[in-house]
Amino acid sequence: MSEVATEASVKMRLAVISGLFGGVCATAALFSIIIIPLPGIPGGSGFWIPAALYFALTLWFGVYGALAGHIGTFIGMGPFFGWTFQVWADGALGDFIAPLICRAFFLAFKADPELKTRKDYAVWLISVPIATCLAAMWIHFVNYSFGTITFGAWVWGVIAYTIGDSLAVFTLGTVLLKVASKWVKTSPFYVKGRLL
């Protein structure tokens, strides 16, 4: 089989992984919104469980992992906003960008998603809050621009999103990386050394 055909088949499988895990992320999003809602932030949660999954997926599969978060958030938050452009532009796009920022840190500092060394943990502990805060600022800017929230809710939303996503990623995401990274890295789908 040619190298081009092999790469094309791997990309097709990665797209399927995005879709499947997008469904898992959507279920986790609905669970998060219902169990730990944020007052004044429609479709928001104080502990965003899918973040743990799509951050790990992005470290393993690049843009295809981030796409799972994008799909999951759009489906999970859709019912709360009526499936509008706003949902795509805020949560879904923010949840696509955040794990890619984290991956960029991992690539820049040559950190390992298995979190084997102190450097790996340091990159993880620094990149996650930065990525989630930047995404939170974007998401709540869009919500504020659409008139969905007030400026006070924007500030509250940025803080809550950063903390809620970071807590989920640090607890569940760390366990996921420690348990599954070694196995995932042996698969032909593991995307090493490139952002996309």
Q: For 122-151, how does the pLDDT look when each residue is reduced to its tens digit (9 = 90+)?
A: 999 999 999 999 999 998 888 888 887 888
Mean pLDDT of all residues belonging to the chain = 86
CATH number at residue 80: 1.10.1760.20
Q: What is the Cα–Cα distance from 58 to 62, expressed in whole angstroms?
A: 5
Q: What is the Cα–Cα distance from 90 to 19, expressed in whole angstroms?
A: 20
Return the amino acid letter for 195.
L
Burial class (CB in 10 A: 0-12, 13-18, 19+), 90: buried
Residues 6+ apart with CB under 8 A from 194: 62, 107
Count of the separate structural domains present in the chain: 1
The CA radius of gyration of the chain, in Å to the nearest whole number, is 16
Return the pLDDT at 194: 62
Structural domain includes residue 52? yes
Structural domain includes residue 196? no
Structural domain includes residue 192? no
Structural domain includes residue 126? yes
Structural domain includes residue 195? no
Q: For 6-18, how does the pLDDT look when each residue is reduced to its tens digit (9 = 90+)?
A: 777 878 888 888 8
pLDDT in tens, the chain (196 residues): 445 557 778 788 888 888 999 999 889 988 988 898 877 666 778 898 999 999 999 999 999 999 998 888 888 777 766 656 676 667 778 889 999 999 999 999 999 999 999 999 999 999 999 999 999 999 888 888 888 788 888 888 899 889 999 999 999 999 999 999 999 988 877 877 665 5
Structural domain includes residue 189? no
Structural domain includes residue 26? yes
Return the pLDDT at 1: 45
Q: What is the Cα–Cα distance from 22 to 92, expressed in whole angstroms?
A: 11
Q: Is the pTM of this model over 0.75?
A: yes
Return the pLDDT at 195: 55
Domain enclosing residue 142, as ranges: 3-184
Structural domain includes residue 170? yes
